[in-house]
Amino acid sequence: MKTIGLIGGMSWESSAEYYRIINEEVKLRLGGLHSAKCLLYSVDFEEVERFQAKGEWDKAGELLGDVALALEKGGADFIVICTNTMHKVIAHIERKITIPVLHIADATADQIKKSTIRKVGLLGTKYTMEQDFYKSRIESSGIRVIVPNEDERVMVNKVIYDELCLGDIQEASRAYYKKVIQNMINEGAEGIILGCTEIGLLVKQEHSVIPLFDTTVIHAIEAVNKALEK
């Protein structure tokens, strides 16, 4: 079994989900008392969020690159960044290390391609929804990506940072997300990417009439695939 290097803490709420899903999947596949070989380096999200808000992505990339290097030195065979947004700085991270990074958007696109879906709605932070680093990665697989309107993007982002990252699950916010999803369905979305690793804490498949692609689950299971590959 390969050792998974997890860059977590962005937020720790979703990092805990990664740890749970990865270990449950290893136990399911291998049985007995098996659990995942992994290293988790959990950063202080307050520091990272300040870099995001100021647009200081280079500084954020340097920070996470140092974290990845520490994981490599600690014995990790590959890196999993437990967040969608910070894949924006993946180039900074890859320059610091010699082991591969398992990209969350690639894993998600591969999962979508297993269906007949070719147009998806994207929910995430404002950075993920509005900038090109994530959408273009999905669209390079022949999948069209649409996002909510500007007012909806503001509110979706606010719920992530003010509630979900703090473990605060509000029924009113769930209802709002369901409305946003329906609006994207009305625009032709055949599936929805939960493109922030906290959104799955709020919105489940039962809340949508079309398929949801929970990036936390997809990424964590792909990490297990890679850890157990021959």
What are the residue ranges of helices labelled H in the chain? 12-30, 45-54, 57-73, 90-96, 104-113, 126-130, 132-139, 150-162, 171-186, 215-228
SS3 116: coil
- Candidates 82, 196, 215, 216; catalytic one: 196
Asked if 77 and 3 count as a contact pair (C-beta separation under 8 A), the reply is yes
- Candidates 82, 83, 125, 216; catalytic one: 83
DSSP state for residue 205 in the 8-state scheme: G
- Give the C-alpha separation, 3 to 78, whole Å: 7
Return the residue matching tokens 């599936």.
Answer: 191
- Give the C-alpha separation, 230 to 34, whole Å: 17
DSSP state for residue 181 in the 8-state scheme: H
Q: How many C-beta neighbours within 10 Å does residue 152 have?
A: 18
Q: Is residue 230 predicted with pLDDT exceeding 90?
A: no
Mean of per-residue pLDDT scores for the chain: 97
Rounded-to-10 torsion of CA 154, 156, 162, 163: 170
196 is catalytic: yes
Asked if 152 and 177 count as a contact pair (C-beta separation under 8 A), the reply is no
- Tens digit of each residue's pLDDT (9 = 90 or more) over 47-93: 999 999 999 999 999 999 999 999 999 999 999 999 999 999 999 99
Q: What is the mean pLDDT of residues 181-185?
A: 98
Q: Is residue 40 predicted with pLDDT exceeding 90?
A: yes
Amino acid (one-letter) located at 174: R
Q: Is residue 225 predicted with pLDDT exceeding 90?
A: yes
- Give the C-alpha separation, 108 to 113, whole Å: 9
Select from 195, 183, 177, 66 the least CA-distant residue to 137.
195
What are the Cα distances from residue 1, in Å, to 8, 65, 160?
21, 24, 34
Asked if 18 and 214 count as a contact pair (C-beta separation under 8 A), the reply is no
pTM: 0.95
Select from 9, 8, 16, 165 the least CA-distant residue to 79.
8
